[in-house]
Chains A and B, each alone.
Chain A
């Protein structure tokens, strides 16, 4: 993995802007007053102890939380300046623009080819173009060399690390602008972790990546920006404690709570 030789410019545009977001699971107030600007074509990491709401926050970006009854979000989240919670926004279209990778690789029980072609087919892409999309997506996910001769094999026959890259290829096939990654490396072996981290570094030339990770070394290695979330009192809403460039967070955090968490003094 190449070290971040060129830091993201201060005036780089924000792909996603969150203002005064509060989130509720029924009566439970999970997140309070979160405001943050996610820079375009950069990797942003969300860190914090278990239960601090970082995954909940991540799922707000593609409205995955809508699928859970009784949830509601207040405040605004804009993608390229457009409110994603506005009436008329199609969540399905939103989830094409903002793809998601989960902790557990979840290929469909179908061939490698069909896994990648699944999204483009739904979009009505013609058969003649599919081959090229499948190849390009697998190449961009660094999985082409390993699978080009076994495209007809079931995706579930691949190793865990390969399955995760297959899921990344499946997301890339529909040309997303943002990729959300929720603990993408916690269920796979170290070599595959390395491959996925390398991949993130390559992909950020084209897309914006947000990763939730419990592994702080990983956050430090892969991200340009880091946001630290904390639920200070059990049962109360979590807050965004600090958001800054990753090297600043890991050398000179400004907030004592961030400092105590990343140095292992709690959490």
Chain B
């Protein structure tokens, strides 16, 4: 019976990892659809969101069942608790990806200055790196990598600020709606990375059992 329980824990973790990789794909597709003005790709991202919602809810439901029936303690309990939180973060991240895809649809019929597309793409590339590292840290229970996510996130915040500076140089005749969509997209990317940093804190708690790892969460996501 305890073997079945261990297998369930493994499967739940594998499912959360798989959702994590799906969210990385969502982010990648959303940024590509925005930068290339690809409406079909944007539609695909938007349509795929309900599946991620369903899967994250499934993780929560399954975790509750295991807690109710198996009385997990110590690292098993921390794993179940953390996986539920991580799934919730992933669901939010996918929603932010959908927001980027929506911005892609609204801006696809016009073309702005290339510098701004380049900035979004650069920011996107950094976010993929954070997401890949997040999945790897979870997969391997890698405390060091989980703690490094914060550092990987910093240049993303810098690019978001640079985005504002570039916008300020726009001429009056530039399309204001287009510009604001781009700012929002940059903001969504930055939020996706913030959620990944939060997941890193959850992984740190999962590995160490030290709740202090979570105390700064609120400040870091502001």
Contact = CB atoms under 8 A, between A and B. Distances in A.
A143 to B, nearest CB: 30
A217 to B, nearest CB: 5
Interface string B178-222: 000000000000000000000000000000111100000000000
Interface string B64-88: 0000000111111110000000000
A259 B75 contact: yes
A54 to B, nearest CB: 18
Interface residues of A, number: 12
A216 interface: yes
Residue of A217, A220, A259, A264 ringed by the most chain B CB atoms within 10 A: A264
Interface SS of chain B: helix, strand, loop or mixed? Answer: helix
Interface size class of B (residues with CB under 8 A): 10 to 19
Residue among A216, A220, A251 with most chain B CB within 10 A:
A251
Interface string A230-257: 0000000000000000000011110000
A217 B69 CA distance: 12
A257 to B, nearest CB: 12
B50 to A, nearest CB: 35
Contacts of A251: 73-74, 77-78, 209
B54 interface: no
B2 interface: yes
B204 to A, nearest CB: 12
Given A251-B209, A252-B209, A252-B210, A263 B76 contact: yes
Interface of B: 2, 5, 71-78, 208-211
Q: Which 5 A-B pairs have the closest CB atoms?
A: A252-B209, A250-B73, A264-B2, A259-B74, A262-B73
Given A217-B71, A262-B74, 13 more contacts: A216-B73, A220-B73, A250-B73, A250-B74, A251-B77, A251-B78, A251-B209, A252-B211, A258-B74, A259-B75, A263-B72, A263-B75, A264-B5
